[in-house]
Amino acid sequence: MTKVIALFNQSGGVGKSTLTLNLGYHLSRRNKRVLLLDMDPQASLTTFMGLDPVDLDRTIYNAVVGEEPLPIHPNIHGVDLAPTNINLCAAELELVSRLMREMRLKETIAPLLPSYDFILIDCPPSLGILSVISLVAATHVLVPIQTQFKSFQGTDLLLNTVAGLRAKANQNLAIAGFVPTLYDGRTTQEFRTLKAIQDQLSPLAPVFEPIPKSIAFADASEERVPLALLKAKHPGVLVLKHIAKALDTMG
């Protein structure tokens, strides 16, 4: 069965797009067929994958709102990409009056499921309709959490959102795990926050190794490549490999 994993946190700046790109790459290195969906109108994932959002004639917007086939750019660093641009902002308003709007993304990707082992969805940093349709389409949700106290405090709201969707729209939605991001182990505050994340969230789902804070991730994004292709021996690469392996082998 295809694993459709929504990378979701209503907070911005936690590394969702970077994580989506890099996990997709490492899953492809495990001989998995991977599709990335950019559901964030900021189009960071699209940009990080080497496309210019301004130049795109067709995006996820055309599929979700216009019910056209999903536009897919194949084999970028071993994965396929369905890109987006700022036009997706209009979907928030245009879907309000549409019947069964919560099912739009699920119906869009349904014909593609036999072609992929993994579909990773980069959700926007909000609790709006774009995040809702992403979570309804997903089989799992993976939660990046910045190892800052304020970011951790927002986890209750996130978990309540997931619980509400489970109750009403997607009863089979599972939590694949939590990924501490931008971790600087030299600071006492971040060490304590990481410990709190591990203690309080591990009963719900796996808490993976923290992804270290490093300028190398920004450098890789600027070069439009996964971190492993820029600095193969960077310690973050091994962490990403471990997370990809865990996602690959989860039930």
What pLDDT shows up at residue 100?
A: 79
What pLDDT shows up at residue 26?
A: 98
What pLDDT shows up at residue 99?
A: 72
What pLDDT shows up at residue 215?
A: 95
- How many helices and strands in the chain, by DSSP H and E? 12, 7
Cα separation, 59 vs 88, in Å, equals 8
What pLDDT shows up at residue 13?
A: 82
The DSSP secondary-structure symbol of 209 reads: P
Give the torsion sign (CA, 79, 244, 218, 133): positive
Cα separation, 250 vs 153, in Å, equals 27
User: What residues in the chain have per-residue pLDDT under 70?
Assistant: none
Cα separation, 177 vs 155, in Å, equals 13
What pLDDT shows up at residue 193?
A: 92
Cα separation, 244 vs 122, in Å, equals 16
What pLDDT shows up at residue 148?
A: 84
Q: What region does 242 belong to: left with phi over 0, alpha with psi -120 to 50, or beta?
A: alpha
- 140-146 and 3-7 beta bridge pairing: parallel
What pLDDT shows up at residue 117?
A: 98
**Which residue in this structure is represented by tokens 């993304």?**
105
What pLDDT shows up at residue 101?
A: 86
Name the strands in the sheet holding 73-76, side by side, starting at the edge strand that comes first in the sequence.
73-76, 79-82, 34-38, 118-122, 3-7, 140-146, 174-181
What pLDDT shows up at residue 203?
A: 95
What pLDDT shows up at residue 5?
A: 98
